[in-house]
A and B are shown apart, each in its own frame.
Chain A
């Protein structure tokens, strides 16, 4: 009996955090999911910061929810990055490092680390993603993030990577453009 119920329980637990549940978080849920559901409007950082206590845990749950739209999960990461803190960093690190993370969410986590980590730590964390073994889509996001936050320390590596593998060149265009802009400043 217990074995038979297990799959059903898994299904029930895997529904989106943005669906109503009797968990006493309705007000927080509607505020966060509303902000995360903006079609085409920017959400000011202050709106995320104003969410109050409990928001970090909900945002982290939403960011990690495999049943949610990738774009909504990425938005939740933006909310976490705006708020900062240990849970934000842990969530970003976890999603950024996992090859199982859907690529749009993973790229969002990589970008978010750029807002959360000091430069040296950011370089240490993202440099491995520039290696040939990494998913090229994640590599592009890491290159863009490093080019933006640590151009002096990373643009040489990004250029070398683009030169070494022309198949990567298109995906690294944005990072290379950021590097060019940084070198002109």
Chain B
């Protein structure tokens, strides 16, 4: 595994090294640290951040986003025009990617199991593979170990010109870390299970060896690559009696998008769809009102601040009105992870703006059906990563709930400004869209595939009396931010992609590797530094 990890930008590298070197909680008896106090450890800064030797309230914006010009432009876009398919109607469509011909390769329709070739041009740093099911050819769900699972369209057996495997959806083995948890950091690329029948996207590389491969050589190996069209239903047929409902009949339309090196900064445009209503059924906020709303201006300035830490400049945020029927149906959106026929995935098909950037739906209320109906979520994504440049599919959205958004003045401060809190939540969902996984999951037993993101291991960070619950499927530990705000393996709660948000701890921090992953997503358009 290559060991060289060149920093993505000097400032980001310094910011992250300061965070990683410091990483500690505040003492209880020392005076409250103030911005500007010197620090050599995070502990010296308490709830502030230790950054380049001084306590700060927040990390600075990426220098490549000009201070004034870094403010996103908020505009009202075209309203979505769509007729009401009726309640409970489940549909999905196949769409063409919006990328120019030199970037996207249409590989045609293929059955699962077929090996398909594609070209990686010189100078390529990332590969995105899109599969869209045709003719309802694949089952929507399978049953694995007695549990119903939606199918997922995901390529496998992706090979470089020399034949070396770059991605395998069913690796022969996954190493364990010293705590006995699965360790994916040694793979070129990773695609964690995301139930996405009908449409799936995978963007590689997203793990350190793959990132190193591109960075050290200045490109991924150019030439003729291959992939195998695949879905979980096909994999199911190889698992014997453990899996039922499998099928080798799935057919998919396949596209590959290749992108060049991540510029020192990239620009990200957003399309925002508003599903929010007043009591009489009127829009609580129209697109035109949103574009001039001070609270939303503050919110998206906050998103720009957080994403700026990854070298992304938030460009244009375009608001869209939904048709009345859609706004009323989806103002309270139901997410059922067992199906793509739920309200959330059907709503995502209204993301009809033709941009390559993420589609963010803002709704009054977001509810999930897990073990019981009606569980509130802060936000969720249709898939990880999101299908950048492929609007209008059931996976083509991220959604967050929001209520009133009073504006604030002063520096970015999630602890004291609701708009900034919502900015962190929106940025978290956008981080998923751009390919980031939770750094640590709630159980403290699953982690992202990056090596510079702090982990919060259940085996280390919970009380001895509770460690028997680590990995217990019936009563798992919940590794809340307070347990993960310390040093070493008990940290990470300040990271943008930690599984939970706490206003006194979460800072929306982003590591260099996370920054590199998000800038490789095809949603990002290269923008030369000023």
Contact = CB atoms under 8 A, between A and B. Distances in A.
A150 interface: no
Contact of B504 (A20, A42, A104, A171): A20
Given A41-B499, A69-B418, A170-B328, A137 B88 contact: no
A39 B377 contact: yes
A27 B21 CA distance: 26
Given A30-B502, A34-B482, A38-B378, A137 B331 contact: yes
A78 B402 CA distance: 18
Nearest to A135: B279
B500 A34 contact: yes
Interface residues of A, number: 49
Contacts of B481: 30, 33-34, 37
Nearest to B374: A111
B72 interface: no
B379 A39 contact: yes
Chain A, interface SS category: helix
Contacts, number: 150
Contacts of B404: 70, 102
A103 B500 contact: no
A48 B117 CA distance: 51
A150 B523 CA distance: 47
Contacts of A75: 376
B345 interface: no
A35 B475 CA distance: 15
Q: Which of B418, B441, B500 has the most CB of A within 10 A?
A: B500
A136 B282 CA distance: 12
Given A37-B501, A41-B500, A78 B376 contact: yes
A30 B480 contact: yes
Interface of B: 47, 87-88, 277, 279-281, 325, 328-329, 331-332, 334, 364-366, 368, 370-371, 373-381, 401-404, 415-416, 418, 421-422, 425, 428-429, 441-442, 475-476, 478, 480-483, 485, 499-506
Interface of A: 15-16, 18-20, 27, 29-31, 33-35, 37-44, 46-47, 67, 69-72, 74-75, 78, 102-104, 107-108, 111, 135-137, 140-141, 148, 167, 170-171, 173-174, 176-177
15 contacts: A30-B505, A31-B480, A33-B504, A34-B482, A37-B500, A37-B501, A38-B377, A39-B377, A39-B499, A42-B370, A103-B279, A104-B364, A173-B88, A173-B329, A174-B334
